Copies of this chain bind each other. A is one copy, B any other.
Amino acid sequence: MDLFYVLLILLVATRAFGEVAERLAQPALVGELTAGVALGAVVASFPGIFPTLSGLGDNEVFVTITDLGMFFLMLFAGLEMQPRKMFERSASSLGVAFGGMVVPLALGVGLGWAFLPDSPLRTAQCLFLGTALAITAVPATVRILTDLNLLDTRIGQTIVSAAVIDDVFSLMLLAWFTGMIGAEEPSGLLELAILSGKVVLFFTVTTLIGLFVFPWGGRFIHHLRVHELEISAMLVAAFAFAVLAEVLGLHFIVGAFIAGLYFGRKTINVQSYERVRNTVSGMTFGFLAPIFFASIGFELNFTSVVEIPGFLALLIACAFLGKIGGAGLMARAFGFSRNDSLVIGVGMSPRGAVELVIAGIVLKAGLLVGDSDIVRNLFSAVVIMSVVTTVLSPIILARVFAARSNHD
């Protein structure tokens, strides 16, 4: 891969489209995704213009750059939020997460049951659809909340903690039902119990380290002399948590988020916190995140629009209804205003990149084989649903907020 050429094209395109989006009163994220879709379309139609850009989604180096983008986005989200406030919101977050998980999961499984043909893989395929709808793309959500200046507010904290909880459970589900494929015996409850044990272990270990080792490390750092050590210390913690998450079967973004969460204003001192935060913010929003969001746009594959338009429309409708009906109603029950509950429901709707990761795993595992048009186009449909929810959510939220400010 022609590294610097690819980075140059993508950075120029995403920032230009981001600027246009902002001029149209849309979040920059919408522009960045559109830049990716546009570049993807240009590359697919005229492969001669940017030969180095074709096949980028399968290129190991490019995937590493986008992984670093996700990593830094989640690290930034963790840094911006304060664990104490997140604990205070834990009851409502858990409620919202529960609603935002169960309703879309049921809708997805129901959709599968109604439309997928009977086959030995049907149960796993239905669970895949359920998981695909239950997911919330935390990196996309973080970006949207940052664009709208909502990240460290009550709404933002609730959305992000609920989204993280939903993703953790969705990833457990994924590990469980992919275990079904090709297994001699169907995966049982024991396997699910082991997965739950790993998740509990992850959060226990990282919380103990975050609460006790981080403050000790912060005091220890004052005795060290090497240059730019604060950034290294933050990254070492985040890399370690990411590795731990992967070892225990979770996505690395959960590790990066938790490491950032426990690295607070007082872990070293306020100046160090500000330096680390500014550096991570610059690298994320000025460099890696736009490229990561463009890469989501790249993956679009329109076969399902042509072959199963009805099912696709239903899937997208369920994606919004599931989160608004599940997470939004739960938020209302926990005392959020009607408007804020709608914001929370829509805010949890983007499926973004985590979905692409999961759809890719399922595709490789050989789950999406069958005679029916729907099964053959399920990958394309889920990818389109993920891009559409990621593009529409910030647009809807910007309108909701414009309406609210006009009321004030």
Contact = CB atoms under 8 A, between A and B. Distances in A.
Interface of A: 2-5, 7-8, 11-12, 15, 18-19, 22-23, 28, 60-61, 64-65, 67, 71, 146-147, 224-232, 235-236, 239-240, 242-243, 246, 252, 255, 275-276, 278-279, 281-287, 290
A contacts with B: majority SS: helix
A247 B281 CA distance: 32
A284 B227 CA distance: 10
9 contacts: A4-B255, A5-B239, A8-B239, A8-B243, A11-B232, A61-B64, A64-B64, A227-B285, A275-B278
Contacts of A287: 231-232, 235
A167 to B, nearest CB: 18
Given A4-B242, A287-B231, A278 B279 contact: yes
Nearest to A64: B61
Nearest to A237: B8
A131 B135 CA distance: 56
A281 B8 CA distance: 21
A19 B225 contact: yes
Given A11-B239, A278-B278, A285 B4 contact: no
Contact of A236 (B8, B18, B240, B255): B8
Contacts of A285: 227-228, 231
Given A15-B232, A61-B61, A225-B23, A4 B239 contact: yes
A231 B19 contact: no
A279 B232 CA distance: 13
Given A64-B64, A282-B275, A226 B19 contact: yes
